[in-house]
Amino acid sequence: MYQLSHILTEQKSIMESITQALLSADKDETSKEMQAAFPKETEEVKQRTLTSLLEKVEGAKNIMDTPGRHLIYNGDLAEFDVENMSPIQRVHAFLMNDCLLIATWLPNRRGAIKYKYNALYDLESFAVVNVKDNPPMKDMFKILMFPDSRIFQAENSKIKKEWLEILDETKKNKVSKDKHKKEEELPTSPVRAEVSTNPFEMDDDEPADTEDDVNLSLEWIQELPEDLDVCIAQRDFEGAVDLLDKLNEYLKDQPVTPKVKDLRSKVDERVRQLTEVLVFELSPDRSLRGGPKATRRAVSQLIRLGQSTKACELFLKNRAAAVQTAIRQLRIEGATLLYIHKLCNIFFTSLLETAKEFQMDFAGNTGCYSAFVVWSGSAMKMFVNAFSKQVFDSKESLSTAAECVKVAKEHCQQLTEIGLDLTFTLQSLLVKDIKAALQSYKDIIIEATKHRNSEEMWRRMNLMTPEALAKLKDEMRSCGISTFDQYTGEDCWVNLSYTVVAFTKQMMSFLEEGLKLYFPELHMVLLESLREIILVAVQHVDYSLRCEQDPEKKSFIIQNATFLHDTVLPVVEFRFEESVGKPAKQLHD
């Protein structure tokens, strides 16, 4: 739309200049005489005015370096956001004969300086569009600079009208002036070639013979720049790249003549525009729906344009934004395990899809694979942040944490089907949180054991009902203590103290959850935690044996110590070594 507007403006100005040229010669001569009579004075006055105004703008010193530049119009405007029409800032605009300067107001004035340089636009680089009044948004006009735009509001409708008319008139004048310049330059160029008397120019003339060899008069070559413009405007990216490939193939073995250089410069400008549009297509600001396949079109065309590195970078940025958005939109459930199942499903499925799409898009660019591996690591950090917030920061139980980590590991294993193993990355990112969780739970068990020890009476345990006794037997069997039956008596009695039974259940539970969370970096942490928990119980039994004088109670304490030494601790040692595959010397000692 911007290019169409630009072409229409140009056509309109050409038609008007033709109309003006057909007007009476007298009127033309009179205006020329007036311009000849007062050219320097008016230009000097305009330049002086511009200089004095630009002295108030911070960072605008170099603007007066262009000869012949002078002020046409200036005034205050308010800039609004294009998306939500909210006010952004107050600006002062300076319209010159060849450009438009936008300067923002300084909140803290420093001497004569009132404004700060914001942007400078060439008159040919933008189109001006009227914005229909929609109260309270009124007296506005839009400036289009592909692919961006800015909206400004004038003080009232009269000033807005002046801005629109003067901008339009100034743009026309510049087009007309540039056209006259080109016409003046054209007749002189062949004369110079004929007049030359330099004998050393013979070498330069040699390529002129070969110039005829490159046939650029073919219809498709003549229309190529315009065809590229049409393809870009219609978003036919494949068609545009096909045309470029066709041209490159045609010019591959041809000499580089001035005509070829000229054509190349025109085409390169279109390539730049096409690249900008494709880059915009892949920007995370665009809609992220449609998954990684939605980016395939833009990525494949960028690769064909020789921009595989940029395509790789933008593709991965786009996917990172999509993954982040998906994680952010996931509703936090009351049940942590349910949330973690959903989180793992969304994240690892997205990662798998992205990897498969990456393999398809960059099949011939193996150099980009390292970038994908690095990106996978950073994406994993994003996942672990969301995972840890829900599992570890909310102080979930060790059993819940172990189950959640197990789910994450299982999902991570899915990536190995495409040759990507991120298990080590996941473990290294989780090791700090798991270590803290193990130590925290260890401290809770030690505190609970010490509290029970302080109230120890060394009495047999009475479970009151056969059902309760059967339940306890089942619990002990599930913990791996198969010989518990020999410590049960008649009726519902258990020949062990409540403290030792409670300690055994907690100890075995901690061991099982710790083994679910285990990986090599946590070996010593888990081993030391088990050792510290065991020492609390063993030292209490040892102390009680030394202090107890009653022979009957002393015999009962020895029975509890035998249960710990002969039954519980060997099971702990065996389960640890069986699961880890390494001897646990600390536990044995």
pLDDT in tens, 502-549: 999 889 999 988 988 888 888 888 899 999 999 999 989 888 888 888
Q: Scanning the structure block, which residue is given the tokens 């001497």?
A: 111
Q: Would you state the pLDDT for residue 36?
A: 55
pLDDT (tens digit per residue) in 555-573: 888 989 998 888 889 989 8
Q: Would you state the pLDDT for residue 202?
A: 42
State the pTM of this model.
Answer: 0.55
Cα 110 from chain centre:
39
Q: Would you state the pLDDT for residue 547?
A: 85
Provide long-range contacts, Cβ within 8 A and 24+ apart, for 46-53.
Answer: 46/70, 46/71, 47/71, 50/94, 50/96, 53/94
pLDDT band at residue 92 under the 50/70/90 scheme: very high
- C-alpha distances (whole Å) from 553 to each of 85, 148, 184, 450 are 85, 88, 121, 20
pLDDT at 38 over 60: no
What angle separates helix 258-282 from helix 296-304, to the nearest 10 degrees?
160
Contacts of residue 558, defined as CB under 8 A and 6 or more positions apart, other chains included, come to 545
Over residues 34-61, the mean pLDDT reads 66
> Residue 201, Cβ neighbours under 10 Å: how many?
11
Pairing of strands 57-58, 113-122: parallel
pLDDT band at residue 457 under the 50/70/90 scheme: confident
pLDDT at 26 over 70: no
Q: Would you state the pLDDT for residue 286?
A: 67
Question: For residues 391 and 397, what is the distance between their CA atoms, to the nearest angstrom?
Answer: 9
CB-based contact 522:431 (threshold 8 Å): yes
Of the candidate ranges 10-24, 210-224, 354-368, 421-435, the one whose mean pLDDT is the lowest: 210-224
**Residues linked to residue 488 through DSSP beta bridges, in sequence order:** 494
H helix intervals, 283-397: 296-304, 308-329, 336-361, 369-391
Over residues 413-421, the mean pLDDT reads 85
On average, the pLDDT of the chain sits at 82
CB-based contact 414:352 (threshold 8 Å): yes
**C-alpha closest to that of 392 among 453, 328, 340, 444:** 340
**C-alpha closest to that of 563 among 480, 495, 477, 505:** 495
pLDDT at 210 over 50: no
Q: Would you state the pLDDT for residue 295?
A: 79
Q: Would you state the pLDDT for residue 491?
A: 77
Question: For residues 513 and 84, what is the distance between their CA atoms, to the nearest angstrom?
Answer: 53
Q: Would you state the pLDDT for residue 447?
A: 93
pLDDT band at residue 290 under the 50/70/90 scheme: low
Q: 391 φ, ψ to 5°?
A: -95, -50
Q: Would you state the pLDDT for residue 186?
A: 63
